[in-house]
Amino acid sequence: MSRTLRSAARVALVAAAAVASAATLALASPAVPASAEPRPFHAGQLRPDVMLTAAPAPLSCTVRPGVRGCTSFAPEAPGVLVAILYSEPWFRGTRVLVHLETTGAGCSARTSDDEGGGDLAGPLLAMLGAVRSVQTFHRCDVRLHEAFLDEGGTSSAWLHEVPEVTDLQVAAFTVS
């Protein structure tokens, strides 16, 4: 057999094998429309089955040492961020950013200092009874109260970082 005939026979054999394997695959797998096949997703690519929503805008309260109540509810208020109160456990949900109006760097390491506090009233009313986790910053601690500050009532210990607040319907807070 000549070299040309052998090459032609090989080409015919490869072509026949390709047709046979395609036919075998077509018979073995059910017909699935191309749009129903899962496609890989790449970083930064939007997934059509996931709906993204923006986090709610944070609420703000600025406190002043020795003063009861928020002195400002403006989100761009001057001061140091000392605490964040969250509406869901594990630092999620609606947030109240608590700023300390001071020229210093935050709180002292003692809990005997009165750095101020606020009631969850006015613009913060949506968080009344809804605080479920707390984070603090700049050596500050937070005490959560079940009544407004001028009413007394039950309060928590001084908290630094609590992923899940239980057994408290928070109405106010103080910072130290």
Q: What is the pLDDT of residues 105-152, one digit of tens each?
A: 678 777 777 788 999 998 999 999 999 999 999 889 999 999 998 888
Is residue 55 scored above 90 in pLDDT?
A: no
Residue type, 174: T
Domain boundaries, the chain: 3-32, 59-175
Task: Give the largest CA-CA distance in the chain.
Answer: 107
Residue in 162, 160, 131, 124 with CA at minimum distance from that of residue 146:
131
Question: Under DSSP, is residue 119 helix (H, G, I), strand (E, B) or coil?
Answer: strand
Are β-strands 59-63 and 92-100 bridged in parallel, bridged antiparallel, or unpaired? parallel
Is domain 59-175 in CATH 3.30.1490.20, yes or no? Answer: no
Are β-strands 92-100 and 80-88 bridged in parallel, bridged antiparallel, or unpaired? antiparallel
Q: Say what the pLDDT of residue 45 is.
A: 65
Neighbours of 96 (CB within 10 A): 25
Position 101 confidence tier, pLDDT thresholds 50, 70, 90: confident
Is residue 31 scored above 60 in pLDDT?
A: no
